[in-house]
Amino acid sequence: MRAPGAIKSALGAVMSSVGPYDRNGSTNGHKPYRYSAFDLLRHGFSQADWPRAWRRHDPKSSYDVVVVGGGVHGLATAYYLAKNHGITNVAVLDKGYIGSGGSGRNTAIIRSNYLTPEGIRFYDRSVKLYETLSADLNYNAMFAQRGHLTLAHNDSSLRTMRWRAEVNKLEGVDSEVIGPDEIKKLVPFMDTSEDVRYPILGALYHPPGGIIRHDAVVWGYARGADALGVHIHQNTEVTGIDVTGGKVSGVRTKRGDIATPVVVNCTAGWSTLISDMVGVKMPVSTFPLQAAVTEPVRPFLNPVIVSGTLHVYVSQTDRGELVFGASVDPFTSYSMRGSLEFTEGLAGHVLELMPSLAKMRLLRQWSGLCDMTPDFSPIMGVTPVAGFFVDVGWGTYGFKAGPVSGETMAALIATGKMPDLIAPFSLDRFASGSLMGEKGAAAVGH
């Protein structure tokens, strides 16, 4: 791996080769369309068609920036490139439909109560962006800040909760440790008795945490990016990346070759395969993460509940379904089939927390792929190949970081300067030993 200095100068070279951008916010001739209640009424009466949320294009022969991966990270990167930096000649490529990877498979939990100051600042910015996202994108992503409870079942996890609460407070993030009585008030269904196998000793309560409609985040960014002139190409699998003289020069896709000086790897599950195309090795292992959802029942659960000891997290959607997640499977795999053992263990753990849910029915299980790094933190920024950027290694916490990742990656690509928020997550930290300490807060930390 190269020294950081070499990477920085390589970056500068790329950015000068991209040339000056049109900063006037050109939208390539497209007139954005705004949704509103009035508009809904108008369409209700006229029953006229709505305009496409994003358009279809044939891939152009060249773009200023090509983003690989049409999930929340890729689309947000493209959106902020166009919106904040006026870089609109951008393509987002996805091998399937947009949001078909982790963005459409996660459990849509948003929070910022991490353990390290760096992690907290980063995710806090993401929460702030999520709070105004619906208005910014003119697309209601239905962010519900219902509060987030991380349960402690033993004194060591209670100590970690206190640690997180203290660091959170110093960083200005609303977090506190609460006791079983307060937990019971927030979640009447919770079994807070002392004579159970894993008694609940307390919880880290994080009021700004909550859930969001994950697909709507993807579609909102896609629509916003499209309105600013970004091209979204679905069913466009990348088959190779061309590097000329140590610099990215283009991507090959199943729909033809595209010349570009900048490629951003915003994939998950396949991130190592994309980086391999330019010979960049990353310390990433891919594990399946399973999730499941129940049939809907009337709302009874407001906050998001997480138990690291029992490896489970639970929330109830506005539709009434309970959404469950767990820790990653204990082995690396690209399989997304799901297992019976997962649902058995999951159901047992949910019932240990809330025994009265025994007659609720599990409706569907699925799984996604998580790219785990050694320190449970992402890899963001430049690589030894000039023009090849990465925003990968998102483990089980990528969705909640979507907006801030897009914003910072866009700033890095446009300005050539590494934003402070993501400087701790650079690829070269594995060479310099500046690992992040998020294992404790991120492992089952939904």
Partner 1 sequence: MSMRLDHRPGEVIDRQREFTFTWNGEEYPAYGGDTIISALAACGERIFSRSFKYHRPRGLLTASFLDPGCMVQVDDEPNVRGAHRRVEPGMVVSPQGVWPSLEYDVKSANGAFGRFLSAGFYYKTFIKPRRLWPVYRRMLRRFSAGGTVSASPAQDYFDKRYAHPDVLVAGGGPAGMAAAVAAARAGAQVLLVEEEYELGGYLRWGDEAELAALRALREEVASSPGIEVMPNSVVEGRYDDNWVAVMQRDLSHVEERLVKARAKTLVVAPGLIERPYVFEGNDTPGVILSTAARRLINLYAVKPGERAVVFSANESGDAAAEDLARSGVEVARVVDARRGGDIVRVKGGGKGVRAVECSDGAEIECDLLVTAVGWTAPTSLINMAGDRPVYNERAARFFSSHLPDDVLTCGGIAGDGTLEELIEHARATGGEAARRAAKTARRLRGGIPLESEAPPAEISELPLYEHPALFRGKTHGIVDYSEDVTSKDLVTAEKEGYDSIELVKRYTTVTMGPAQGKLESVNAVAIMAETTGRTIEETGTTVWRPPYSPVTLGALAGRIFEPVRYSPMQPWHEIRGAKPLVAGAWIRPDHYGDPASEVLNVRENVGIIDVTPLGKFDLRGPDVPKLLNHLYVNRWDNLEEGRVRYGVMCLEDGVVFDDGVTGRLGPEWYVMTTTSSGAAGVGEWIDNWLQTAHPGWRIHVTPVTTAYASINVAGPKSRELLLRLTEGVDLSPDAFPYMRVREGRVAGVEGCFMWRLGFTGELSYEVHVPAAYGLHVWETLMQRGADLGVGPFGVEAQRILRLEKGHFIVGQDTDGLTGPYDVGLGRMVKLDKDDFTGKPELAWQSEINGRLQLVGLQPHDGSLVPPEASQIVEGESEIVGRITSSRMSPTLGRSICLGFVAEHLTTPGTKVVVQLPGGERVPASVTPHHAHYDPEGTRQRG
Q: Decide if residue 66 touches partner 1 (CB under 8 A).
A: no
Q: Which of residues 337-396 bind partner 1 (CB under 8 A)?
A: 337-340, 343-344, 346-348, 350-352, 356-366, 374-375
Contact predicate 233/68, CB 8 Å? no
Site for partner 1 in 254-293 (CB under 8 A): none
Name the one residue in this structure whose structure tokens are 């795999």.
333
Restricting to residues 126-155, name those near partner 1 by CB under 8 A: 131-132, 134-135, 138-144, 153-155
244 Cβ contact partners less than 8 Å away, ≥ 6 residues apart: none
Distance of closest approach, residue 184 Cβ to partner 1, in angstroms? 10
Asked if 146 and 211 count as a contact pair (C-beta separation under 8 A), the reply is yes
Chain centroid to CA 348: how far?
28
Site string for partner 1, 157-176 (x = CB under 8 A): --xx-xx-xxx-xxxx----
Burial of 184 from C-beta contacts in 10 A (0-12 / 13-18 / 19+): middle
Q: Which residue, 61 or 335, is less far from partner 1 as judged by CB?
A: 335
Query: Which of 215/242 has CB closer to partner 1?
Result: 215
Q: How far is the CB of 228 from partner 1 (least distance, A)?
A: 16
Name the residue nearer to partner 1 (CB basis): 20 or 331: 331
| 189-228 binders of partner 1 (CB under 8 A) | 189, 197-199, 213, 215-216, 219-220
Give the interface size with partner 1 as a residue count (CB under 8 A).
103
For 75-90, b/e burial (b = at least 16 CB within 10 A) is bbbbbbbbbbbbbbbb
Q: Are the CB atoms for 378 and 398 separated by under 8 Å?
A: yes
Residue 280, classified by CB atoms within 10 Å of its CB into exposed (0-12), middle (13-18) or buried (19+), is: buried
Q: Is 437 in the site for partner 1 (CB under 8 A)?
A: yes
- Is 407 a residue that touches partner 1 (CB under 8 A)? no
Q: Which residues contact 106 (CB under 8 A, 6 or more apart)?
A: 214, 291, 325, 368, 398, 399
CB nearer to partner 1: pick between 131 and 174: 131
Site string for partner 1, 298-337 (x = CB under 8 A): xxx-----------------xxx----------------x
Binding flag, residue 84, partner 1 (CB under 8 A): no
Q: Report the nearest approach of partner 1 to the CB of residue 7 (Å).
A: 20
DSSP 8-state secondary structure symbol assigned to residue 234:
S
